[in-house]
Structure 1
Amino acid sequence: MKIKGNYKLPASRSVVWDMVMDPEILERVTPGIKELKELSQDQYEAVSEVRVGPVKGNFTGKLSIKDKTEEEGCTLVIDQKSKMGNVVAEIVMNLASSDEGGTDVTYTGEAKMSGTLASMGQRIMSGVVSTLSKQFFKSMEEEIDKRSA
């Protein structure tokens, strides 16, 4: 399943970069994440619970950050397992300064699913990914607002 989108955040690239590289912030803003524990540099154990529409499940696995170019982008590698199926995704995130002084975030990638997740079909899962992405960026905005208050 293809994943892609973009979002405009009201903060500089350096602020957005620092937030994406901070596991405590990622734990707070990523929908469903219950725990993000550092295993080594750029390697984390992730425990999450996802509930969106017909999709409900507890997932455990790893999150890795690779191909980092400071304040420009990185690749997120997600490998999550649950009773309802597994998800392996690789998402490239790029940051660019916007004309208004904020940051344009674009992301593209692919997710491979197995088990019940795969049988739900791309249309349902695309909706879930879209909803989770919107929640993530809305939470990032709220975190930015807290920093500037």
Structure 2
Amino acid sequence: MKIKGNYTLSTTPEIFWQMVMDPDVLEKVTPGIKELKALSPDNYEALSEVKVGPVRGNFKGNLSIKDKVEQEGCTLVIDQKSKMGNVIAEIVMTLAPEGEGQTKVEYTGEAKMSGTLASMGQRIMSGVVSTLSKQFFKSMEAEIAARKA
């Protein structure tokens, strides 16, 4: 399944980069993440619970950050397993300054699913991915606003 989108945040690439590289911030703003535990630099064990429409499940696996270019982008590698199926995704995220104090984030990638998740079909899962992406960026905006206050 292809993953693609963009979002403009009210902060600089430098601040957004610092926030994305901070596991405490990622744990707080990523939908469904219950715990993000560092295994090594840029490699985390992730425990999550996802509840979006027909998709409900507890997942356990890894989140890795690779191909880092400070303030420009990176690749997120997600490998999650659950009773309802497994997800392996690689998402390339690029950052670009836009306007005064804003950052445009573009993301593209692909997710491979197995089990019940795969049987739900791309249309349903695309909707779930879209909803989770929007929740992530709205939570990130709230975190940015809280830091400015």
What secondary structure does 2:145 align onto? helix
User: In the TM superposition, what whole-angstrom CA distance separates every residue of 1:121-149 from its partner, at most 9, and x where no partner exists?
Assistant: 00000000000000000000000000000
CA distance in 1, matches of 2:123, 2:48: 22
Q: 1:99 Cα shift? A: 1.6
User: In the TM superposition, what whole-angstrom CA distance separates every residue of 1:94-129 from its partner, at most 9, and x where no partner exists?
Assistant: 000002320000000000000000000000000000
Q: Runs ≥4 in structure 1, deviation > 4 angstroms?
A: none
Q: Which residue is 1:128 aligned to?
A: 128
Q: Which residue is 2:19 aligned to?
A: 19
Question: Aligned AA for 1:98?
Answer: E
Q: 1:17 Cα shift? A: 0.2
Show structure 2 runs of 5+ residues with no match.
none
CA distance in 2, matches of 1:12, 1:18: 10
CA distance in 1, matches of 2:137, 2:99: 19
Q: Which residue is 1:91 aligned to?
A: 91
Question: Aligned AA for 1:46?
Answer: A
What secondary structure does 1:135 align onto? helix
Q: Which residue is 1:6 aligned to?
A: 6
Equivalences, count: 149
Q: Which residue is 2:137 aligned to?
A: 137
Q: Which residue is 2:54 aligned to?
A: 54
What secondary structure does 1:78 align onto? strand
Q: Which residue is 1:119 aligned to?
A: 119
Q: 1:81 Cα shift? A: 0.1
Question: Aligned AA for 2:148?
Answer: S
Question: Aligned AA for 2:127?
Answer: G
Structure-1-length-normalised TM-score: 0.99
Verify: 1:34 aligned to 2:52, yes or no: no
Q: Which residue is 2:69 aligned to?
A: 69
CA distance in 1, matches of 2:26, 2:9: 15
What secondary structure does 1:93 align onto? strand
Structure-2-length-normalised TM-score: 0.99
